Chains A and B, each alone.
Chain A
């Protein structure tokens, strides 16, 4: 069966877009083929610096013929109906046949469509797919042609069964030619079939497959490191990027001058990776960074790479001189002297400066550290200094070194080592693969940082929607979840979210007050942003509470509770995602979160796990069924009666043995569940609930809830309401699916 070979050859495609473009091309072409009934054996896409290639094997030479029978109107139908049918089928009346059915004679149309040559179909499909290919960024380049591609497109190789598939895109006509490596090959290459194509490209110094290039680089760097008794510091992101920057990767190593080796390794590594895309190497015995680096060239140079290495070493020297300059300059000032400079750095126009933020963090981190029973003075100190490195030259140059640099500068200033560590680690985890900090002091600052961020952006209505999360709030929430769960930290999130909210609000009020005093015509803006309303909701009392830090004396207002719940439900969503991999059911997380009282993530997860285990047992599953039945009846009757049953049972009215038994067991269970919950013995609480299963089953088997006597009926509904309430102490069972 014939194959398709398609190559789109252009000027250098950004490394970050290559793999995605190849996948998109495959998806679009494959989709169009199946839409047109063309099945194939296999499809594979390839990408590289100058080309996107798609190989599809085992296509038919042509589409199969299609025969379609269409039933039309009755023979004696009105003329208009018959006309309509003819129009629809494109046939004339003579071409129709008559078919007799039990309902009478009807017209039938037989439409036969001959399958088209696959090559002709491809000539339509491919340019369409190219036009629809979603480049993250694309450009025009040819005069008079508005078609876009990622960079100027130079040639299209399109061969089906060894023959060219004729079409054109952006003024480029398809053919059977391509080019090899920009400098290591000469002239055009003709290729009609994939094996030939891949082979000729290799001879022309192009490795087609990005995975193969990555493997060549990985092995090459490993080998080069080994020669020097070193090992590579793995860097997946860098590996993927450099695989997209060379068609023929050549690994060379260079030396870092000794004068730079006392600069912190993170700086060296970041500078080399970000600017130069070099791999850092380390001593496998000590784990210390070595004074060598590996670079990936795209060239077999005449001199074996001497000039290339010398050139790269020179560039690195200039780069590291810059970095060393910042390192030396930054250390001339104490970190704490930089805190004031944060006034000039805007965190967000509607939330305020980084200075205000560091003031808030100082208070909040202190509170959290107190809760975690660690030295809250150290946490507060670290939080106060945590953002100061944003004013340093190094962080201005390498934003990804924020935190890390603060830690170094703090150590340099002889700050406490735990304070320095907390500054260095408070942004962690920065991604799903990043570790979380394990120190309590650092965790206090890290949690404070993230809560402040969440509460601040929620307060100005910047909650993430859909796929858009410009302020990385999901990551912040997930960070808090991971820090708490992985360390087993017990923190009442709602309480600290409320404190964070009060801090944010007071900062906003302060800036609003300043603006008003400056007689800026700000009222309109305030009204627009709804900030005014929020501000007015905060009473003087709340401000006073904040000033005195007396959270217990001034418990949250209703609107604060609402806000905290809003935030908690955001956490619940993140938690569902985080726990999904472990097989935790998302509906159970909802069921526990719905209690509204559970904001300690560690305890929450323990509850969910106990619940999940319980529901897997026979008792659990049946009790859930009983609960659902009770809840359904209650819902129905409460609606009918327009009242809520609260569970107050009159024992004297319990007529049937089954209802007496249920009442007795329920009373016992309620008495037992409370202490178990208090002791956080969730499995124990579940066991107590399990005892309810048999009486519940018996109740529904023998007792008629809707008794004729309204007094009996009320009493029985109250009994069920009692059951509902008892179970709701463990979880909101109505949220549980199944």
Chain B
């Protein structure tokens, strides 16, 4: 299998591979979030008895990782490739190794290892057991069997695969500086994103108005609660939870949240996530409805 030569080849290859495994190929969620896990296609769909199989690219924002475009591999905005399989197929490790072969990482030539790394998201009240997958000593994927989301047990258990696309592409393309990646045959990654990294680093660390952000946090929290009152609007409520989480991440990058406050804020986001998950489990898609009994548009 030839190696995926460009960044977008890598994405296209993964899309084709997982589409062939029967996954829905979804598009990125249109809210700012820290990781692909926050996409409702993972957070909410991981809960409840219905089977689910999806794959998508998710732009991920980590404000504190901004380095003004100067660090070879740290970015405040990067892409994750996310695969969620529910229930976890018995051969999920094999399926995953197949995806590495597809992008040109031949296990006969490389040293591929599953090294313990349990995953936990305090903001989502989520936890799972799994590994970081190493290819020649580099972490290329986070592989997790979800046990809990929003404080609720996942039953059935789903498998989540998260590929860090830039890092993987750097490995495949043998590039040491992320901005040197070939996005396609004509453009480099830096041409697409370097200016954004410089500007957003300044925004994240220096310019973001903390009063506005604190207000955003409060507003999102309030709106989320309201949407879960009375006739519940789960998905709009969860959007607010995502917004609150991102506002918190920005506030943290601005350095205005102390260590003790930090835990309290995380607890507040978690409470929102838990409330959304609880509501999801009572909603049509989250509650038990076997496929064959589905009627109408569901």
B163 at interface, CB cutoff 8 A:
no
Q: A308: which of B116, B136, B171 is its contact (CB, 8 Å)?
A: B136
Q: Is the CB of A143 within 8 A of B156?
A: yes
A150, B260: Cα distance in complex, Å: 34
B186 at interface, CB cutoff 8 A:
no
Stretch in B102-110, B202-210, B214-222, B246-254 with 4+ CB within 8 Å of A: B102-110
Q: Is the CB of B157 within 8 A of A307?
A: no
Q: Is the CB of A346 within 8 A of B260?
A: yes
Q: Is the CB of A276 within 8 A of B111?
A: no
Can you name the residue of chain B whose Cβ is closest to the Cβ of A276?
Answer: B137
B287 at interface, CB cutoff 8 A:
no
Q: A346: which B residues are within 8 A, CB to CB?
A: 259-260
Beyond A11-B93, A143-B87, A152-B90, whether A183 also contacts B136 by CB under 8 A is: no
Mask: chain A, 11-40; 1 = CB below 8 Å from B; 0 = not? 110111000000000000000000000000
Q: B114: which of A11, A141, A299, A308 is its contact (CB, 8 Å)?
A: A11
Q: Is the CB of A312 within 8 A of B137?
A: yes
Can you name the residue of chain B whose Cβ is closest to the Cβ of A138?
Answer: B129
Q: Is the CB of A301 within 8 A of B109?
A: yes
Stretch in A114-122, A315-323, A414-422 with 4+ CB within 8 Å of B: A315-323
Q: Is the CB of A299 within 8 A of B73?
A: no
A131, B153: Cα distance in complex, Å: 20
Q: B112: which A residues are within 8 A, CB to CB?
A: 183, 299
Q: Is the CB of B116 within 8 A of A16?
A: yes
Can you name the residue of chain A whose Cβ is closest to the Cβ of B167?
Answer: A318
Q: A311: which B residues are within 8 A, CB to CB?
A: 110-111, 135-138, 171
Beyond A139-B157, A143-B156, A315-B136, whether A308 also contacts B260 by CB under 8 A is: no
A344 at interface, CB cutoff 8 A:
yes
Instruction: Tell me which residues from 101 to 143 in chain A have a Cβ below 8 Å from any Cβ of chain B.
Output: 137-143
Q: B115: which A residues are within 8 A, CB to CB?
A: 12, 15, 245
Q: A554: which B residues are within 8 A, CB to CB?
A: none
Q: Is the CB of A140 within 8 A of B147?
A: yes
Q: B183: which A residues are within 8 A, CB to CB?
A: none
A152, B131: Cα distance in complex, Å: 13
Q: B174: which A residues are within 8 A, CB to CB?
A: 314
Q: B137: which A residues are within 8 A, CB to CB?
A: 276-278, 295, 311-312, 315-316
Q: A298: which B residues are within 8 A, CB to CB?
A: 111, 113
A325, B74: Cα distance in complex, Å: 12
Can you name the residue of chain B whose Cβ is closest to the Cβ of A244?
Answer: B116
Whole-angstrom distance from the CB of B260 to the nearest CB of chain A? 6
Whole-angstrom distance from the CB of A298 to the nearest CB of chain B? 6
Mask: chain B, 112-155; 1 = CB below 8 Å from A; 0 = not? 11111010000000001101000111100000010100000101
Can you name the residue of chain B whose Cβ is closest to the Cβ of A15?
Answer: B116
Instruction: Tell me which residues from 65 to 107 in chain B have a Cβ below 8 Å from any Cβ of chain A.
Output: 71-73, 87-88, 90, 93, 107
A345 at interface, CB cutoff 8 A:
yes
Q: Is the CB of A139 within 8 A of B176?
A: no
Whole-angstrom distance from the CB of B158 to the nearest CB of chain A? 10
Q: Is the CB of B259 within 8 A of A141?
A: no
Q: B93: which A residues are within 8 A, CB to CB?
A: 11
Q: Is the CB of A315 within 8 A of B138?
A: yes
Q: Is the CB of B259 within 8 A of A301?
A: no
Q: Is the CB of B87 within 8 A of A139?
A: no
Whole-angstrom distance from the CB of B110 to the nearest CB of chain A? 6
Most interface-central of A302, A311, A316 (chain B CB within 10 A): A311
A277, B147: Cα distance in complex, Å: 28
Whole-angstrom distance from the CB of B253 to the nearest CB of chain A? 15
A151 at interface, CB cutoff 8 A:
yes
Whole-angstrom distance from the CB of B48 to the nearest CB of chain A? 12
A227 at interface, CB cutoff 8 A:
no
Q: A152: which B residues are within 8 A, CB to CB?
A: 88, 90, 145
A264, B268: Cα distance in complex, Å: 42
Can you name the residue of chain A whose Cβ is closest to the Cβ of B114?
Answer: A12
Q: Is the CB of A141 within 8 A of B145?
A: yes
B258 at interface, CB cutoff 8 A:
yes
Instruction: Tell me which residues from 312 to 346 in chain A have a Cβ below 8 Å from any Cβ of chain B.
Output: 312, 314-318, 321, 325, 344-346
Q: Is the CB of A307 within 8 A of B109?
A: yes
A298, B115: Cα distance in complex, Å: 12
Q: A297: which B residues are within 8 A, CB to CB?
A: 111
A303 at interface, CB cutoff 8 A:
yes
Q: Is the CB of A321 within 8 A of B72?
A: yes
Whole-angstrom distance from the CB of A46 to the nearest CB of chain B? 19
Q: A138: which B residues are within 8 A, CB to CB?
A: 129
A349 at interface, CB cutoff 8 A:
yes
Most interface-central of A141, A154, A183, A278 (chain B CB within 10 A): A141
Q: Is the CB of B157 within 8 A of A308?
A: no
A592, B59: Cα distance in complex, Å: 68
Q: Is the CB of B116 within 8 A of A183?
A: no
Q: Is the CB of A301 within 8 A of B108?
A: yes
Q: A183: which B residues are within 8 A, CB to CB?
A: 107-108, 112
Q: A143: which B residues are within 8 A, CB to CB?
A: 87, 155-157
Whole-angstrom distance from the CB of B97 to the nearest CB of chain A? 8
Q: A16: which B residues are within 8 A, CB to CB?
A: 116
A245, B129: Cα distance in complex, Å: 17
Q: B107: which A residues are within 8 A, CB to CB?
A: 183, 299
Whole-angstrom distance from the CB of B7 to the nearest CB of chain A? 18
Q: A325: which B residues are within 8 A, CB to CB?
A: 71
A344, B252: Cα distance in complex, Å: 13
A152, B91: Cα distance in complex, Å: 10
A587, B233: Cα distance in complex, Å: 70
Q: B259: which A residues are within 8 A, CB to CB?
A: 344-346
Can you name the residue of chain A whose Cβ is closest to the Cβ of B255?
Answer: A344
Q: B258: which A residues are within 8 A, CB to CB?
A: 344
Q: B71: which A residues are within 8 A, CB to CB?
A: 325
Instruction: Tell me which residues from 287 to 315 in chain A have a Cβ below 8 Å from any Cβ of chain B.
Output: 295, 297-299, 301-303, 307-308, 310-312, 314-315
Q: A144: which B residues are within 8 A, CB to CB?
A: 156
Mask: chain B, 211-248; 1 = CB below 8 Å from A; 0 = not? 00000000000000000000000000000000000000
Q: Is the CB of A317 within 8 A of B176?
A: yes
Q: A141: which B residues are within 8 A, CB to CB?
A: 88, 145, 157
Q: A277: which B residues are within 8 A, CB to CB?
A: 137
Beyond A140-B157, A141-B157, A346-B259, whether A302 also contacts B111 by CB under 8 A is: no
- List 10 A-B pairs, minimum CB-CB distance, nearest first: A311-B136, A14-B116, A12-B114, A143-B156, A297-B111, A312-B137, A315-B138, A139-B129, A315-B137, A299-B111
Question: Could you list 8 A-B pairs, sorted by A, with CB under 8 Å?
Answer: A152-B90, A154-B90, A245-B115, A297-B111, A302-B109, A308-B109, A312-B111, A314-B171
Q: Write the residues of chain B forming the contact surface with A, with a CB cutoff of 8 angstroms.
A: 71-73, 87-88, 90, 93, 107-116, 118, 128-129, 131, 135-138, 145, 147, 153, 155-157, 171, 174, 176, 258-260
List 7 additional contacts besides A311-B137, A325-B71; criterion CB under 8 Å. A140-B147, A142-B87, A143-B155, A312-B138, A314-B138, A315-B138, A344-B259
